[in-house]
């Protein structure tokens, strides 16, 4: 049986496994024979501190699609000359890249993650120009107001479905202040709140209707950074509503949302 050193296996686990609450990682059996590994599932307890010491680029270089029997990672006809991801302001991040030799390329999927070892989500797609002789510059702007570091990468796909991944680029977090966001807006069944504060503090959240009548009041302790709350609004009548957050240290935030009737 082919032997793998611990570092290589750990990178494989981080890229394709699933972490459990106990710090375990499970590798699916589907693609293991292709990697020269036995036909068994591997469940191994890992030192998560060791995992965190791996370079991010190493941890995400092998996407899950590489391990699917019917979707091998082929050769993607593109040369990525430059790839950057930077914070534009407190609301957005700018992702830019320069390429050449992309005649048979379908396009670029922009992916983002707050924890690369846990996977990435697709944020958008930009079609390739499919011009093979000139350099081409691309840009994508992503809504990003996270108070933690976020990470971006490109998933480059050709016409046959083969993919190639770029290196991972970190984007600086927004400096935590005080902010209140309600989403989705309009809301139908559930309204979500994101309350951001710079330090731990007690707070009172008040819900009121358009006439100013108090509907509900909540008391809680907010932690530094973003705090997420969910509220069932399915029983509310259609119309405008207001949410006010007042912290113990005097900060006041206010937002509104519109309730749609079902």
Q: Per-residue pLDDT tens, the chain, 262 aa: give them.
A: 444 444 443 333 333 333 333 333 333 333 333 333 333 333 333 333 333 333 333 333 334 433 332 334 456 778 899 999 999 887 789 999 999 888 788 999 999 998 888 889 999 999 998 777 688 999 999 988 777 789 999 999 988 888 999 999 999 987 667 788 888 989 999 999 999 888 899 999 999 998 889 999 999 999 988 899 999 999 999 999 999 999 988 888 888 899 998 7
Q: How many domains does the chain have?
A: 3
Q: Which of 105, 137, 171 is the last residue of a domain?
A: 171
* DSSP string over 138-205: EEEEEE---SS-EEEEEEEEETTS-EEE---EEEPPPPP--EEEEESSSBSSEEEEEEEESS-EEEEE
Q: Which of 171, 194, 209 is the last residue of a domain?
A: 171
| 87: CATH | 2.60.40.10
Residues 157 and 83 in one domain: yes
Domain coverage including residue 223: 179-259
Residues 167 and 185 in one domain: no
Residues 36 and 63 in one domain: yes
| Residue 73 domain flag | no
**pLDDT the model gives residue 21:** 33
**pLDDT the model gives residue 252:** 85
| Residue 28 domain flag | yes
pTM surpassing 0.75? no
| Residue 72 domain flag | no
| Residue 49 domain flag | yes
Residues 85 and 162 in one domain: yes
């Amino acid at each position: 049986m082919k032997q793998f050193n611990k570092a290589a296996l750990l990178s494989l686990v981080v890229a394709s496994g699933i972490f459990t609450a106990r710090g375990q990682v499970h590798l699916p059996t589907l693609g293991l024979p292709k990697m020269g590994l036995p036909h068994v599932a591997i469940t191994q307890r890992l030192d998560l501190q060791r995992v965190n010491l791996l370079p991010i680029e190493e941890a995400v270089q092998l996407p899950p699609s590489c391990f699917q029997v019917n979707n091998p990672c082929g050769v993607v006809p593109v040369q990525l000359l430059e790839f950057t991801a930077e914070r534009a302001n407190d609301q957005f991040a700018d992702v830019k890249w320069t390429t050449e030799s992309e005649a048979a390329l379908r396009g670029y999927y922009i992916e983002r993650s707050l924890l690369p070892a846990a996977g990435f989500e697709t944020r958008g797609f930009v079609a390739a120009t499919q011009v093979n002789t000139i350099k081409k510059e691309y840009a994508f702007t992503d809504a990003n107001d996270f108070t933690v570091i976020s990470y971006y990468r490109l998933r480059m796909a050709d016409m046959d479905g083969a993919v190639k991944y770029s290196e991972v680029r970190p984007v600086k977090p927004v400096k935590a202040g005080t902010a209140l966001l309600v989403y989705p807006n309009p809301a139908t069944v559930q309204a979500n709140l994101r309350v951001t504060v710079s330090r731990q503090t007690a707070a009172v959240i008040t819900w009121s209707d358009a006439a100013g009548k108090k509907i509900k009041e909540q008391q809680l302790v907010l932690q530094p950074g973003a705090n997420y709350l969910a509220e069932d609004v399915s029983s509310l009548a259609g119309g405008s509503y207001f949410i006010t957050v007042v912290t113990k240290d005097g900060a006041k935030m206010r937002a509104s949302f519109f309730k749609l009737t079902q």
